[in-house]
């Protein structure tokens, strides 16, 4: 097996599988999974994400509904749209692109989404289910990390996993998933004492910090599996910018057993897992089995 985990190829395989299952679902049950993406405001990065999501949704044979609202949108208007999508039978997944403009309370909006359509897995119902190990919707980036780790390592029982970062969207759900897989999990953060030493104990190290190239090669146990969630844009000497992760790839790659690059590692898995969640929910909402 290759040392560098090819997230782009993994995501392409996952999308191919989803495309096949979506076609079977249509032929067998006349159900076409539908994903609604809501974008409020003009944030350029969010616009790119939304465009990519829509394109890949359609490529997988699913329906894509895009709702673009001005950044002056009031909370009530957004809530009304969520209610409409909750009641629309052709919509099986609802994603509200974050961040939202400051006049809107993100938590209220997320928790207004029908938990069965919350394909981002951020609704309190789904957060609670993940926390108690009940079946629910798992957030996309953490799910992508777990899929890649299991693909590389198989059974994770007893592995020592260290997660750097404790955000609600990445660090905590990744830790919950690894715990469900019977890893011994340590969650670290900005107040952790001796972070480097904690990292050196990891068989599986997941970095979700948002600090360019913070995790160095000498923080890594030889042979460890390193998953770099970070996406950071840094300026280069020639006046351009380049994407780097939270792991210093140049020093980490020779030490790690397996490692994800940035770009081309975790990033492509996020949208693929969003489509995976949408297909699963289309089946669950309609009470039919997911095609084999």
Please, which residues bridge with residue 139 across strands? none
Shorter beta-carbon distance to ligand NDP: residue 36 or 274: 274
Q: Is 199 in contact with 177 (CB distance < 8 Å)?
A: no
Torsion of CA 239, 240, 243, 245, to 10 degrees: -10
Output the smallest distance, CB 200 to ligand NDP, in A. Answer: 14
Of 206, 260, 212, 258, the residue nearest 236 (C-alpha) = 212
Spatial CB neighbours of 137, under 8 Å, sequence gap ≥ 6: 115, 118, 119, 120, 121, 123, 126, 129, 277, 280, 281
Q: Which is nearer to ligand NDP, 146 or 283 (CB)?
A: 146
In this complex, which beta carbon is closest to ligand NDP, that of residue 114 or of residue 278?
A: 278
Which of the following is catalytic: 21, 56, 118, 120? 120
Contact partners, residue 209, CB within 8 Å, separation at least 6: 164, 165, 215, 230, 246
Q: Which of 21, 56, 97, 280 is labelled catalytic?
A: 97
- Is 281 one of the catalytic residues? no
Measured from the CB of residue 13, what is the shortest distance to ligand NDP in angstroms?
18
Q: Are 119 and 57 contacting, i.e. CB atoms less than 8 angstroms apart?
A: no
Give the residue at shortest CB distance from ligand NDP: 167
Q: Is 200 exposed, middle or buried (0-12, 13-18, 19+ CB in 10 A)?
A: middle
DSSP 108: H
Cβ nearer to ligand NDP, comparing 81 with 204 = 204
For strand 241-244 and strand 232-235, is the pairing parallel, antiparallel, or unpaired? Answer: antiparallel
Catalytic residue among 53, 117, 159, 258: 53
| DSSP secondary structure letter of residue 120 | T
Min dist CB 183 to ligand NDP, Å, is 19
CB of 36 to ligand NDP, least distance (A): 20
Q: What is the DSSP annotation of 134-198?
A: -S-PPPHHHHHHHHHHHHHHS--TT-EEEEE---TTTHHHHHHHHHHTT-EEEEE-TT-TTHHHH
**Considering beta carbons, is residue 116 or 213 the nearer one to ligand NDP?**
213
CB of 269 to ligand NDP, least distance (A): 7
Active site residue 2: no
Q: Which is nearer to ligand NDP, 11 or 183 (CB)?
A: 11
165, two tokens = 């970062």
Question: Is 84 designated active site?
Answer: no
Residues at the contact surface with ligand NDP, assessed by CB under 6 A = 141, 164-167, 169-171, 188-192, 195, 208-211, 229-232, 266-267, 270
* Shortest reach from residue 217's CB to ligand NDP, in Å: 17
What are 173's two structure tokens?
């759900």
Catalytic residues: 53, 97, 120
């Amino acid at each position: 097996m290759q040392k560098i985990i090819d997230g782009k190829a993994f995501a392409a395989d996952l999308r191919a599988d989803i495309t096949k299952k979506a076609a079977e679902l249509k032929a067998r049950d006349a159900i076409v999974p539908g994903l609604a993406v809501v974008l409020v405001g003009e944030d350029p990065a969010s616009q790119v994400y939304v465009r990519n999501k829509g394109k890949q949704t359609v490529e997988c044979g699913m329906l894509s509904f895009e709702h673009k609202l001005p950044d002056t949108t009031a909370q009530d208007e957004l809530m009304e749209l969520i209610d409409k999508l909750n009641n629309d039978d052709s919509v099986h997944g609802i994603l509200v692109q974050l961040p939202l403009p400051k006049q809107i309370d993100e938590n209220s909006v997320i928790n207004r989404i029908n938990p069965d359509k919350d394909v981002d897995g951020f609704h309190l119902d789904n957060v609670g289910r993940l926390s108690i190990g009940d079946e629910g919707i798992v957030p996309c980036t953490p799910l992508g990390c777990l899929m890649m780790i299991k693909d590389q390592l198989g059974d994770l029982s007893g592995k020592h996993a260290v997660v750097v970062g404790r955000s609600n969207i990445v660090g905590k759900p990744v830790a919950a998933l690894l715990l469900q897989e019977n890893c011994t999990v340590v969650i670290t953060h900005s107040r952790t004492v001796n972070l480097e030493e904690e990292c050196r104990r990891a068989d599986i190290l997941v970095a979700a910090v948002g600090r360019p190239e913070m995790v160095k090669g000498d923080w890594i146990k030889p042979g460890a599996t390193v998953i770099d969630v970070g996406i950071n844009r840094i300026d280069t000497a020639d006046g351009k910018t380049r994407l780097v992760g939270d792991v210093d790839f140049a020093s980490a790659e020779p030490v790690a057993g397996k490692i994800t690059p940035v770009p081309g590692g975790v990033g492509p898995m996020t949208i693929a897992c969003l489509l995976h969640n949408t297909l699963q929910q289309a089946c669950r909402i309609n009470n039919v089995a997911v095609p084999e």
